[in-house]
Chain A
């Protein structure tokens, strides 16, 4: 058994080493500078390694050392509020050690070894514990308590348990067989953390975005994809979700995205207050930023790093949402490495295992009963960037085969400044039915019908629009003109939402329900009035209709709405109708 070898060949981020005994996915230190790499293929006495750092200047013959470990992340107190690169190196630490630019050969611990945390035990000497059990807690941020878990593969009887201030790598608990437990544990990123049982998702993720919550909801523990051509507002939508989703923990992966945009996120998140607690959003967030010009292999690893951290919080019994922006960049990283390996390509040069990797990743989402007995969930929302906006490309298609919700961003809508630019005809959610009982109980028994009617109306509008394109709207019969008008109201008053408006940026379920109900009520009254002989011109002049346009921006929504409802009643009473 040798654990020292040498470099044989270098081609970009792919390095072939010889004379080293390796296992698949072992982490190796490559060259004199000890660049971090991962074994991704073995042939004879040669191993293929993808290197997470720039390889310029590396020479054949330089030494390689095997750490014998798989690529792992450090899990423990201090994850929240962190900003990591794709392989869990904290970016602020990298800035301190190597300046404003990312150089290579620097390793940094994912968790600070200096910081002390106040550990409060929840087990006693003599208690039996098994993998995943909670042995104590640490107040990680003001509102989030981290539950310290026994690593999944360990069990035994507590021999000694400490209490007080500790660093993450100090022993806090000793088991009967002498196993020492620390607050920190490591977990290989490519291996899903075990759970006791997978459950069916039955509660919606409330995002405060009307088109998402209202028409195409995702369940807590579900999976959703947002594909969109560039400039269609994908990033804003993702960021809105990160800001407003009602999960306890948010993991945001900027995978191969723009540096300036990441800088914006890094600046903005600490400033934004969590709507429920009033505390900075950062206190419940882990950010992973691997911009498009950072090493491609680290980009490939970044989504795994992110989901492993998400799983760790899920195992404590938290609801976690994970945003990956963008999974296409991740797939491209796979393609790039695959092509360096001279593998036989599948569709459009992507490796043949693309579909398998994507489904493995999304399958790590879900609502579960954790090993500790609590229920937790991971909701995965992956952005896809289809080249040329063409949804038939492999990444979008393979993603759609797995995810249950599809939010189709539409460049045309974005051009018309309809935001969020999610196309209501192409999007879908397979959770609508499973979530029905929840809406009946928590919103209103009317809600599901209201929503379905609205969808039907929008569908009808699309059909009528085709005729309008040909003959103009004046040629339509009056009732159809009215249908078009009501559909327009749903689009503009309900679906359009201004992410930058202080009130409109977040819309609770109750408000969504009342708003949709009011629009529908106006539509019903208008239809009745028309039937009873009122003139369409008069109906169109309705003041309550125009007032409805702006009610979503009102701070005191309920009272503004009741004024409008009153106006509506008066108006239609004058117009006649039932």
Chain B
């Protein structure tokens, strides 16, 4: 049995400093026995012969120098088994649903090892989310990490749920297993997610980790790692395709900053620690497809941009790691358009490898580019109209102006239960493009115009 030390020298914020220990391993898991008989858990952050620094996950409330500290001799592990599916666990992996403890098939390190880039398979399987702005213009593929950049008060949760509900790979009815990790979201938001999972029966194929707003911030640092460990286990050991939803990355980063400050680290931009890029990468990079393994991990994280500022360190660093982003627009939301996805700053870096003749349809890329260009032009013209008035526009420009409105109304707008397949999305795209003079469709090859343009389509058949 491991020794219990009663040698806490100092308690500061979420950290305790323990002295006169035998050698303790870095990152080791620590149990702390409080005088009232309860136990808290922590992790070694810094270890030396003289002093060991431990961060306490549940916060240091109630701790005093008389607490007993036990070093477990192992790093944090998650007990995994296929029975994880359908379970609701706390942010540190304890069952919350009253069910039995997980009988583990294996116990895995939650930090996870980096996938050898040479062992990765470039992701290219199109995921149909049923949302036009994503499928049509910012296509998601299996193994991708594509966050939603949103802001407070915007319907990102609804969108995430719709994606979790509708996502499938074309040609297969196989549904995704969902691993959902809540980090510091409110009880209300969590309930919203849980109710929807229950309503749609998604819970049976979901693993839920809940760290709510009133749970200790430090715990947030391990919640996503538990979730990703579970996801990797299901994907790589049980051949499942797993969709991981992490919400909200911003809360995670706040917790990271809080820890950094408690450790008196030199802060980087806006007080966030200098290693935030590496730390975020250790989460985001745990998406992918591995050669020779059937499963995959796809990440769909939610990130609320403080002050809607996309240059804020959290969205900025995320954008450098993830393969694109879906940007939610307050302006569209105010217009009452759901889902208010602003396609212009949105991007999917892996789109080109996931679309085309064999994967979606041959004209997909061209239609997407043309919609994009025309919408961008229409939006620019709105700015001009504000200055010179609509009458000053040429007929051509008026068409583009109208196009932008129609695009928002028919392509972007859809019901929260409306599941459009990619053909529907593309044909809506074509109907809109048909409103523009044909000569303006410069980004589409003539042979696709002949084949798919509503004006020609009938004639050819």
Q: Say whether A256 contacts B281, CB under 8 Å.
A: yes
Contact size range, A = 35 or more
Mark B302-330 against chain A: 1 for CB-CB distance below 8 A, else 0: 00000000111100110111011100000
In the complex, A285 has a CB within 8 A of chain B: no
Contact size range, B = 35 or more
CB within 8 A of B281: which of A61, A293, A387, A415? A293
Q: Say whether A100 contacts B119, CB under 8 Å.
A: yes
Q: Say whether B266 contacts A342, CB under 8 Å.
A: yes
Binds B, one of A8-16, A240-248, A315-323: A8-16
- Given A231-B319, A260-B144, A101 and B115 touching (CB < 8 A)? yes
The CA of A12 and the CA of B290, in the complex, are separated in Å by 28
Quick one: closest A residue to B46, CB to CB?
Answer: A11
Collect the chain B residues with CB atoms within 8 Å of residue A56's CB: 25-27, 75, 109, 111
Mark B278-294 against chain A: 1 for CB-CB distance below 8 A, else 0: 10011001111011110
Q: Say whether B311 contacts A348, CB under 8 Å.
A: no
- Given A100-B116, A102-B115, A292 and B285 touching (CB < 8 A)? yes
Binds A, one of B86-94, B207-215, B369-377, B406-414: B369-377
Collect the chain A residues with CB atoms within 8 Å of residue B347's CB: 231
In the complex, B277 has a CB within 8 A of chain A: yes
In the complex, B275 has a CB within 8 A of chain A: yes
Interface of chain B residues 386 through 406 with chain A (CB within 8 A): 387-388, 392, 394
CB within 8 A of A292: which of B118, B321, B323? B321
Mark A326-364 against chain B: 1 for CB-CB distance below 8 A, else 0: 000100110110010010010011000000000000000
Q: Say whether A8 contacts B120, CB under 8 Å.
A: no
Q: Say whether B122 contacts A59, CB under 8 Å.
A: no
Quick one: closest A residue to B75, CB to CB?
Answer: A56
Collect the chain B residues with CB atoms within 8 Å of residue A345's CB: 266
CB within 8 A of B323: which of A57, A260, A336, A417? A260
Q: How far is the CB of B385 from chain A (nearest CB, A)?
A: 11
Collect the chain B residues with CB atoms within 8 Å of residue A57's CB: 25-28, 74-75
In the complex, A176 has a CB within 8 A of chain B: no
CB within 8 A of A387: which of B25, B265, B287, B313? B313
Q: Say whether A390 contacts B311, CB under 8 Å.
A: yes
Q: Say whether A470 contacts B387, CB under 8 Å.
A: yes
Q: Which of A254, A264, A470 has the most CB of B within 10 A?
A: A264
Interface of chain B residues 46 through 81 with chain A (CB within 8 A): 46-49, 74-75
Q: Say whether B48 contacts A103, CB under 8 Å.
A: no
Q: Say whether A260 contacts B27, CB under 8 Å.
A: no
In the complex, A266 has a CB within 8 A of chain B: yes
In the complex, B350 has a CB within 8 A of chain A: yes
The CA of A261 and the CA of B144, in the complex, are separated in Å by 10
The CA of A562 and the CA of B273, in the complex, are separated in Å by 60
In the complex, A294 has a CB within 8 A of chain B: yes
Q: Say whether A258 contacts B285, CB under 8 Å.
A: yes
In the complex, A262 has a CB within 8 A of chain B: yes
Q: Say whether B24 contacts A59, CB under 8 Å.
A: yes
Interface of chain A residues 456 through 494 with chain B (CB within 8 A): 470-472, 474
Q: Say whether B46 contacts A9, CB under 8 Å.
A: yes
Collect the chain A residues with CB atoms within 8 Å of residue B27's CB: 55-57
In the complex, B23 has a CB within 8 A of chain A: yes
Q: Say whether B119 contacts A95, CB under 8 Å.
A: yes
The CA of A337 and the CA of B102, in the complex, are separated in Å by 39
CB within 8 A of A339: which of B122, B274, B345? B274
Quick one: closest A residue to B321, CB to CB?
Answer: A292
Quick one: closest B residue to A550, CB to CB?
Answer: B442
In the complex, B357 has a CB within 8 A of chain A: no
In the complex, A1 has a CB within 8 A of chain B: no
Q: Say whether B118 contacts A92, CB under 8 Å.
A: yes
Quick one: closest B residue to A386, CB to CB?
Answer: B316
The CA of A260 and the CA of B277, in the complex, are separated in Å by 17
Q: Say whether A339 contacts B48, CB under 8 Å.
A: no
In the complex, A91 has a CB within 8 A of chain B: yes
Q: Say whether A332 contacts B277, CB under 8 Å.
A: yes
Interface of chain A residues 202 through 256 with chain B (CB within 8 A): 230-231, 254, 256
Collect the chain A residues with CB atoms within 8 Å of residue B288's CB: 259-260, 263
Q: How far is the CB of A7 from chain B (nearest CB, A)?
A: 8
In the complex, A159 has a CB within 8 A of chain B: no
Q: How far is the CB of B432 from chain A (nearest CB, A)?
A: 18
CB within 8 A of B278: which of A102, A332, A349? A332
Interface of chain A residues 45 through 61 with chain B (CB within 8 A): 54-61
The CA of A470 and the CA of B75, in the complex, are separated in Å by 64
Collect the chain A residues with CB atoms within 8 Å of residue B120's CB: 259-260, 262-263, 266
Q: Say whether A100 contacts B290, CB under 8 Å.
A: yes
Quick one: closest B residue to A416, CB to CB?
Answer: B376
The CA of A262 and the CA of B117, in the complex, are separated in Å by 6
Q: How far is the CB of B22 from chain A (nearest CB, A)?
A: 8
Q: Say whether B48 contacts A231, CB under 8 Å.
A: no
In the complex, B103 has a CB within 8 A of chain A: no
Collect the chain A residues with CB atoms within 8 Å of residue B28's CB: 57
Q: Say whether B266 contacts A387, CB under 8 Å.
A: no
Q: How far is the CB of A542 from chain B (nearest CB, A)?
A: 15
In the complex, A83 has a CB within 8 A of chain B: yes
Q: Say whether A10 contacts B47, CB under 8 Å.
A: yes
The CA of A268 and the CA of B286, in the complex, are separated in Å by 22
In the complex, A389 has a CB within 8 A of chain B: yes
The CA of A10 and the CA of B24, in the complex, are separated in Å by 10
The CA of A475 and the CA of B110, in the complex, are separated in Å by 65
Q: How far is the CB of B433 from chain A (nearest CB, A)?
A: 16
Q: How far is the CB of B274 from chain A (nearest CB, A)?
A: 5
Q: Say whether A349 contacts B269, CB under 8 Å.
A: yes
Q: Say whether A55 contacts B123, CB under 8 Å.
A: no
Quick one: closest A residue to B292, CB to CB?
Answer: A100
Q: Say whether B285 contacts A293, CB under 8 Å.
A: yes
Q: Say whether A231 contacts B324, CB under 8 Å.
A: yes
Q: How far is the CB of B413 from chain A (nearest CB, A)?
A: 22
In the complex, A291 has a CB within 8 A of chain B: yes
Q: Say whether B275 contacts A296, CB under 8 Å.
A: yes
Quick one: closest A residue to B388, CB to CB?
Answer: A472
Q: How far is the CB of A415 from chain B (nearest CB, A)?
A: 6
- Given A56-B25, A231-B347, A259 and B115 touching (CB < 8 A)? yes
In the complex, B267 has a CB within 8 A of chain A: yes
Q: How far is the CB of B80 from chain A (nearest CB, A)?
A: 15
The CA of A94 and the CA of B117, in the complex, are separated in Å by 10
Q: Say whether A266 contacts B26, CB under 8 Å.
A: no
New A-B pairs, 11, CB < 8 Å, besides A254-B117, A349-B269: A8-B48, A54-B113, A94-B118, A102-B115, A256-B281, A260-B144, A260-B323, A263-B117, A349-B274, A416-B376, A417-B372
**Can you list 25 A-B contacts (CB < 8 A)?**
A11-B45, A12-B26, A58-B26, A59-B26, A59-B47, A60-B49, A256-B278, A258-B323, A260-B287, A261-B349, A262-B120, A263-B288, A266-B120, A291-B114, A292-B278, A293-B278, A293-B285, A339-B275, A345-B266, A388-B312, A389-B311, A415-B376, A416-B376, A417-B372, A471-B388
For the complex of A and B, the 3 pairs showing the least CB-CB separation, nearest first, are: A388-B311, A9-B48, A292-B281
